[in-house]
């Protein structure tokens, strides 16, 4: 019986981890790591900051131009709204108002022109057009693509 107990204790001692084993490996296997934070990603933080900067610029433009220029930016949805113009509807008022949707390189613009003269107002819906960067012989510019015919099905 004693021999059996001695052999059983030898098996237990042999299966126990050695004292020289790395304790951090054992601790890491028993306890999971700290979960990642639930904060916004860096990309989303930069997008939100650009939205704030664009709207602050639009607010200052609105104040400095006495309501002649208005700019609102939504960088998350990649949209902007720009209004230029002013005047008095009793006299003469001209406003160019547009919504801009950005994709990778292009800007899709839907604009309208409002003209008022002595209480008579006219609203012109301009055709939607695209703007994209262009280069010709080393000079950089903007290419406007205006559709002549619109096909709808």
Q: pLDDT tens digits, residue range 7-62?
A: 545 544 445 455 445 666 666 677 666 666 778 888 999 999 999 999 999 999 99
Instruction: Give the per-residue pLDDT at 32.
Output: 66
Instruction: Give the per-residue pLDDT at 75.
Output: 92
Strand-pair category, 129-136 with 107-117: antiparallel
Q: How far apart are CA 41 and CA 47, in angstroms?
A: 10
Three-class SS state of 119: coil
Q: How far apart are CA 112 and CA 87, in angstroms?
A: 16
Is the confidence at residue 5, as pLDDT, over 50? Answer: no
Q: How far apart are CA 101 and CA 104, in angstroms?
A: 10
Is the confidence at residue 89, as pLDDT, over 80? Answer: no
Q: Is residue 146 a contact partner of residue 131, using CB atoms and an 8 Å limit? A: no
Q: Is residue 75 a contact partner of residue 51, using CB atoms and an 8 Å limit? A: yes
pLDDT-based confidence at 148, cuts 50/70/90?
Answer: confident
Average pLDDT over residues 87-103: 91
Is the confidence at residue 6, as pLDDT, over 90? Answer: no
pTM for this prediction: 0.66
Instruction: Give the per-residue pLDDT at 115.
Output: 95
Average pLDDT over residues 71-89: 92
What value does the mean pLDDT of the chain take? 83
Is the confidence at residue 65, as pLDDT, over 70? Answer: yes
Q: Is 88 exposed, middle or buried (0-12, 13-18, 19+ CB in 10 A)?
A: exposed
What whole-number percentage of the chain has pLDDT above 70? Answer: 77
The CA–CA distances, whole Å, from 5 to 9, 14, 17 equal 6, 14, 20
């Amino acid at each position: 019986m004693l021999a059996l107990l001695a052999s059983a204790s030898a098996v237990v001692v042999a299966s126990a981890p050695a004292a020289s084993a790395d304790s951090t490996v054992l601790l890491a296997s028993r306890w999971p790591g700290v979960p990642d934070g639930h904060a916004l990603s860096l990309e989303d933080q930069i997008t939100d900051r650009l939205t704030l900067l664009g709207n602050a610029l639009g607010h200052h433009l609105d104040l400095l131009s006495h309501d002649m220029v208005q700019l609102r930016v939504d960088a998350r949805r990649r949209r902007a709204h720009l209004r230029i113009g002013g005047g008095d509807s009793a006299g003469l008022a001209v406003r160019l108002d547009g919504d801009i949707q950005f994709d990778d390189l292009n800007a899709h613009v839907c604009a309208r022109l409002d003209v008022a003269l002595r209480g008579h107002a006219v609203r012109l819906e301009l055709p939607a057009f695209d703007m994209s960067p262009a280069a010709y012989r080393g000079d950089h510019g903007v290419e406007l693509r205006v559709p002549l015919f619109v096909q709808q099905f």
